[in-house]
């Protein structure tokens, strides 16, 4: 496209126009090519502009000395502010590695906290013997009891439901590679949400309206038991539309075959909504008029919104005026979810339930920062509006389901056990090259029940479904283990890669009373992780750790004594030393967690190879981590109790179960 | 004498442009408030961003998404150059230490992932509007490049300039993708 009015631009012969390296972008003959009919002033301009460009390049081009470290994927800080930090001006940093002390470590290991939990030294070349990734390290990463397909890429959970005795799970799947693309619907069933059996693909991209992706959708079970599945398709022209599908045979409990409604799409982007901002329809709920209502996330400028549609047949829809809700500055709302919770706690509620004793949750996955947020509020059914109880922590600016890696989550009402269950996509925190090499990417979180926290009234509680306990094998109890300030105490186990840990901690009361009030403003993400020593923390567990702590993943509490002796507790995970590898997430993340009077510091952790799910205070705050150790794998993985606070001792009681495999495999004899 | 001449040249270099631009409005003003300038200001490497975009004429006639695609093309180009250099070095069997050869092989699989996975994933994501995968792909390309450099002992990397180039242009691309997401 050599426009003769732009004489100082190089003429690109390559239609793809791949710009070349810095030292090739210099003034050359093309810049001064005389143009037909050019005036003297244009020639003069060409010369001066060419010289200017040369000066620009000679002035230093771009700053080669400042390599910007891109923040790794995944969680940032507890308020979910800003997706990518770019601290410039640092050279390529070699990974901080503490070589620690090797053999000869005694039972009651007296590691000095500074040595091992302190910031590691930068060793001369930063290399370890075990790089790059070998097959042993990579194959260890596969989980034993978390849902994942046999190979390739997975993302969002789709259309979960309980039907004719089976839990059904569908998911975004790439049948061809370990990265996102060629998306179709995978399918699996289970009797108990733990022991999954893989089924053939439910839907593939075989229509013009979903040829570029059979994207996320939700199921609605009608009163007569029939299933309606609404899902987003990316059309041949990249327009996002909503489509209807239903089982080919409603008598088939496995729901193997699906029919796409011949009149698809049933919804196209309405006026004012961009064709790439219209996706992820929800489960429908009944209105008082007897119609079905769904919501679809979108945005208007930078305001994330949830559109509302009413329908009687899932084929013809009426866009309701206004939105269910919107929050300025939150950007595109993906995977919106909307459901009632009982004020009294207890059981979950069918999506259509409304009335006294019910609050409604609105949840959105924010495209801008890749986190899931929810808020609790009031649903005005007639107006088709929802209002947050506390606008300061509205959707997208307040509470997250999970302060680690957890996205595109979706709930469903399990009518067989009267509970609301939450699925969440757990991506990878390693490099795509490693994903390609190991042949797979992504997990689903352990399904969680969701209820209102009746003690605080202002947040939800999440807890692994009770069926997770069926995986428990042998257990070991450790009662009243004392960890003085600076202590690291080994927890002796036969193995430490498939665990269910239930732990309680107490701080020494006198030390707490003695401790001076601090005005520290603490955030997990801006702290030094487990090396950040305060009077009353950090203390917790070192998971997937190696004997000499060359690799360790601390999951811990950090307590600050503030004004009027009030205690504020934070719950964090620290991946800065989780692996000697240089291409995995090394961030520190977490959140404030309410700890009420009389409560001990409590955590339940599911450790399953490269995933750790940590639930604090009965599920008030949850952190999911993806961890990729190179040494702390198989029989070399260890568990430690630690207390890196400076003043208070910690007494811990733990029960640790070895966890069985869920033997997830293809459905037999299909 | 020479110094004042250079000063004069620089002065004359800067002066005519604004005047000439008003006289010939069809010449694109890369110094003004147009899309390229605004977009590159959102990236941590403004000059590299300008360089990358300006060297591709399509930049002047496209939208934010198009600018993102152009920088992704730059990632592909530089990553391919890295792969070619790795092949060349590995072909010369007699010169490399085993540790260096091992690192080169690791880098080759990283850069193959960039070219065969990150780039197509990013382009597909931009095309269909499911933008977070473009963020994933561009950020990963930066990670692969940085990790490749770190796979070598200090001073032993024969790929430093290319690793820096891929890393930096990937960071620029990731920032432009983020601008697309937030637009």
Convert A412-445 into a string of H (helix), E (strand) and C (coil): EEECCCCEEEEEEEECCCCCHHHHHHHCEECEEC
Give A-chain residues touching B153 at CB under 8 angstroms. Answer: 125, 127
Q: Which residue of A has its CA nearest to B101?
A: A132
Q: What is the pLDDT of residues B105-149, one digit of tens each?
A: 999 999 999 999 999 999 999 999 999 999 999 999 999 999 999
Residue A367 annotated in active site: no
Spatial separation of the C-alpha atoms in residues A66 and A63, rounded to whole Å: 6
Q: Do A48 and B16 touch (CB under 8 A)?
A: yes
Q: Which residue of A has its CA nearest to B13?
A: A48
Spatial separation of the C-alpha atoms in residues A652 and A483, rounded to whole Å: 8
pLDDT band with cut points at 50, 70 and 90 for residue B96: confident
What integer pLDDT is reported at residue A40 of this predicted model? 52
| Top-level class of domain B33-182 | mainly alpha
Spatial separation of the C-alpha atoms in residues A37 and A43, rounded to whole Å: 10
User: What distance in Å separates residue A10's CA from the closest CA in chain B?
Assistant: 6
| Pick from A10, A68, A427: CB nearest B55 | A10
Q: Is the dihedral of CA B141, B143, B149, B151 positive or negative?
A: negative
pLDDT band with cut points at 50, 70 and 90 for residue A41: low
Spatial separation of the C-alpha atoms in residues A289 and A495, rounded to whole Å: 58
Ranking A82-91, A376-385, A506-515 by mean pLDDT, the lowest is A82-91
User: Which class for A634: exposed (0-12), middle (13-18), buried (19 or more C-beta within 10 A)?
Assistant: middle
In sequence order, what are the residues at sequence separation of 6 or more whose Cβ sits closer than 8 angstroms to the Cβ of residue A248? A256, A257, A258, A259
Residue A309: DSSP 8-state: E
The helix/strand/coil state of A545 is strand
pLDDT band with cut points at 50, 70 and 90 for residue B10: low
The residue among B153, B142, B88 whose CA lies nearest residue B113 is B142
Q: Do A367 and B131 touch (CB under 8 A)?
A: yes
Give yes or no for B6 touching A (CB within 8 A).
Answer: no
Tell how far CA A332 is from the center of its chain: 17
Q: Are A410 and A160 in contact (CB under 8 A)?
A: yes
Angle at A603 between CA A601 and CA A608, to 5 degrees: 160
The residue among A416, A425, A427, A472 whose CA lies nearest residue A447 is A425
Q: Do A84 and B102 touch (CB under 8 A)?
A: no
In sequence order, what are the residues at sequence separation of 6 or more whose Cβ sits closer than 8 angstroms to the Cβ of residue A179? A153, A432, A435, A436, A441, B117, B118, B121, B137
What integer pLDDT is reported at residue B95 of this predicted model? 66
pLDDT band with cut points at 50, 70 and 90 for residue A120: very low
What tokens were used for B93?
């069997």
- Mean pLDDT over the full length of chain B: 87
User: What distance in Å separates residue B102's CA from the closest CA in chain A?
Assistant: 8
Tell how far CA A651 is from the center of its chain: 32
In sequence order, what are the residues at sequence separation of 6 or more whose Cβ sits closer than 8 angstroms to the Cβ of residue A521? none
pLDDT band with cut points at 50, 70 and 90 for residue B15: low
Q: Do A19 and B131 touch (CB under 8 A)?
A: no
Spatial separation of the C-alpha atoms in residues A293 and A218, rounded to whole Å: 13
The residue among A403, A540, A535, A561 whose CA lies nearest residue A117 is A540
* DSSP E strand boundaries for A315-441: 317-319, 325-327, 333-342, 358-366, 371-380, 385-388, 399-400, 407-414, 419-426, 440-441
**Percent of chain A predicted with pLDDT > 90:** 80
The answer, yes or no, to whether the previous bond of A265 is cis (omega within 30 of 0) is: yes
Taking the CA atoms of chain B, what radius of gyration do you get in angstroms?
20
Q: Do A433 and B144 touch (CB under 8 A)?
A: yes
Antiparallel, parallel or unpaired: β A440-441 and A448-452: unpaired
Spatial separation of the C-alpha atoms in residues A339 and A361, rounded to whole Å: 5
Q: Do B16 and A5 touch (CB under 8 A)?
A: no
Q: Is the pLDDT of residue A1 over 70?
A: no
Higher pLDDT, A67 or A455: A455
What integer pLDDT is reported at residue A72 of this predicted model? 31
Q: Is the dihedral of CA A548, A550, A554, A559 positive or negative?
A: positive
CA dihedral B114, B116, B117, B120 (to 10 degrees): 110
What integer pLDDT is reported at residue A179 of this predicted model? 96
Q: Are A605 and A616 in contact (CB under 8 A)?
A: no
Q: Is the pLDDT of residue A54 over 90?
A: no
Ranking A515-524, A528-537, B11-20 by mean pLDDT, the lowest is B11-20
What pTM value is reported for the model? Answer: 0.84
Q: Is the pLDDT of residue A19 over 50?
A: no
Q: Is the pLDDT of residue A473 over 50?
A: yes
Q: Are A62 and B168 in contact (CB under 8 A)?
A: yes
Q: What is the mean pLDDT of residues A307-313?
A: 98
What integer pLDDT is reported at residue B92 of this predicted model? 85
What tokens were used for A466?
């009770």
Q: What is the mean pLDDT of residues A211-222?
A: 98
Spatial separation of the C-alpha atoms in residues B177 and B138, rounded to whole Å: 8
* DSSP E strand boundaries for A562-610: 567-574, 588-592, 601-608
Give the active site residue among A77, A156, A394, A508.
A156
Q: Is the pLDDT of residue A25 over 80?
A: no
Question: What is the phi-psi region of residue A329: left when phi exceeds 0, alpha when psi lies from -120 to 50, beta otherwise?
Answer: left
Spatial separation of the C-alpha atoms in residues B164 and B166, rounded to whole Å: 6
What integer pLDDT is reported at residue B97 of this predicted model? 85
Spatial separation of the C-alpha atoms in residues B46 and A68, rounded to whole Å: 12
- Mean pLDDT over the full length of chain A: 86
Give B-chain residues touching A370 at CB under 8 angstroms. Answer: 132, 135
Q: What is the mean pLDDT of residues A275-280?
A: 98
């Amino acid at each position: 496209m050599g426009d003769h009015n732009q004489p100082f631009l190089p003429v690109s012969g390559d239609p793809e126009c791949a710009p070349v390296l810095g030292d090739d972008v210099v003034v050359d003959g093309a810049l001064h090519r005389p143009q037909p009919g050019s005036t003297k002033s244009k020639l003069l301009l060409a010369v001066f502009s060419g010289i200017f460009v040369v000066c620009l390049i000679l002035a230093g081009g771009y700053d080669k000395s400042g390599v910007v470290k891109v923040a790794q994927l995944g969680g940032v800080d507890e308020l979910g502010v800003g997706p990518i930090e770019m601290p410039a001006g640092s050279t390529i940093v070699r990974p901080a590695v503490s070589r620690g002390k090797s053999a000869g470590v005694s039972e009651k290991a007296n590691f000095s906290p500074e040595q091992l939990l302190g910031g590691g030294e930068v060793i001369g070349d930063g290399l370890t013997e075990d790089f790059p990734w070998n097959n042993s390290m990579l194959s260890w990463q596969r989980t034993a009891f978390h849902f994942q397909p046999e190979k390739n890429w997975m993302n969002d959970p789709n259309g979960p439901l309980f039907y004719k005795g089976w839990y059904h799970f569908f998911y975004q799947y790439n049948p061809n590679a370990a990265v996102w693309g060629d998306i179709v619907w995978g399918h699996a069933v289970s009797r108990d949400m733990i022991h999954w059996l893989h089924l053939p693909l439910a839907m593939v991209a075989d229509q013009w309206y979903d040829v570029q992706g059979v994207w996320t959708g939700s199921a609605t079970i009608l009163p007569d038991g029939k299933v309606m599945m609404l899902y987003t398709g990316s059309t041949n022209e990249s327009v996002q539309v909503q489509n209807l599908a239903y089982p080919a045979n409603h008598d088939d409990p496995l729901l193997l075959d699906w029919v796409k409604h011949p009149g698809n799409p049933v919804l196209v982007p309405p006026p004012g909504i961009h064709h790439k901002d219209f996706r992820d329809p929800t489960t429908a709920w009944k209105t008082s008029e007897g119609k079905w209502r769904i919501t679809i996330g979108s945005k208007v400028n930078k305001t994330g919104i949830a559109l509302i549609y009413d329908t009687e047949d899932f084929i013809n829809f009426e866009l309701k005026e206004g939105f269910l809700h919107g929050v300025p500055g939150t950007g595109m709302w993906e995977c919106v979810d909307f459901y009632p919770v009982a004020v009294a706690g207890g059981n979950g509620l069918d999506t259509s339930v409304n009335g006294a004793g019910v609050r409604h949750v609105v949840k959105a996955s924010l495209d801008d920062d890749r986190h899931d947020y929810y808020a609790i509020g009031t649903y005005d059914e007639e107006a088709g509006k929802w209002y947050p109880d506390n606008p300061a922590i509205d959707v997208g600016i307040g509470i997250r389901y999970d302060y680690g890696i957890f996205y595109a989550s979706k709930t469903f009402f399990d009518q067989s056990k009267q509970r609301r269950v939450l699925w969440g996509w757990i991506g990878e925190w390693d490099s795509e090259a490693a994903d390609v090499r190991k042949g797979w990417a992504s997990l689903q979180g352990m399904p969680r029940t969701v209820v209102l926290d009746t003690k605080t009234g202002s947040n939800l509680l999440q807890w692994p479904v009770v069926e997770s306990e069926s995986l428990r094998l042998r257990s070991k109890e450790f009662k009243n283990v004392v960890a003085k300030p600076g202590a690291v105490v080994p927890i002796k186990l036969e193995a430490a890669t498939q665990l269910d840990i239930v732990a309680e901690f107490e701080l020494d009361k006198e030390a707490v009373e003695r401790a001076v009030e601090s005005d520290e403003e603490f955030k997990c993400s801006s702290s030094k992780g487990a090396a950040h020593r305060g009077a009353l923390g950090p203390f917790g567990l070192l998971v997937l750790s190696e004997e000499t702590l060359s690799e360790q993943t601390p999951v811990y509490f950090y307590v600050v004594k503030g004004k009027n002796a009030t205690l504020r507790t934070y719950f964090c995970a620290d991946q800065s030393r989780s692996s000697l590898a240089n291409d995995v997430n090394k961030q520190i993340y977490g959140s404030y967690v309410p700890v009420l009077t009389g409560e001990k510091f409590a955590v339940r952790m599911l450790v399953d190879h490269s995933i750790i799910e940590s639930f604090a205070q009965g599920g008030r705050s949850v952190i999911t981590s993806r961890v990729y150790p190179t040494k702390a794998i198989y029989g070399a993985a260890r568990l430690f109790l630690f207390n890196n606070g400076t003043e208070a001792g910690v007494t811990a009681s733990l029960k640790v179960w070895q966890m069985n495999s869920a033997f997830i495999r293809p459905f037999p004899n299909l | 004498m020479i110094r004042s001449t250079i000063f004069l040249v620089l002065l004359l270099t800067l002066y005519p442009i604004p005047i000439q631009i008003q006289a010939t409005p069809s010449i694109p003003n890369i110094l003004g408030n147009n899309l390229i300038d605004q977009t590159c200001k959102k990236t941590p490497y403004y000059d590299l961003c300008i360089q990358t975009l300006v060297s591709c004429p399509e930049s002047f006639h496209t939208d934010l998404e198009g600018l993102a695609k152009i920088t992704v093309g730059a990632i592909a180009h530089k990553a391919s150059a890295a792969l070619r250099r790795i092949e060349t070095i590995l072909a010369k069997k007699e010169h490399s230490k085993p540790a260096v050869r091992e690192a080169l092989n690791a880098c080759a699989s990283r850069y193959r992932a960039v070219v065969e996975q990150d780039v197509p994933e990013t382009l597909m994501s931009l095309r269909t509007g499911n933008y977070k995968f473009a963020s994933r792909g561009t950020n990963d390309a930066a990670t692969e490049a940085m990790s490749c450099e770190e796979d070598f002992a200090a001073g032993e990397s024969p790929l430093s300039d290319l690793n820096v180039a891929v890393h930096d242009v990937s960071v620029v691309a990731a920032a432009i993708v983020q601008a697309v997401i937030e637009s």
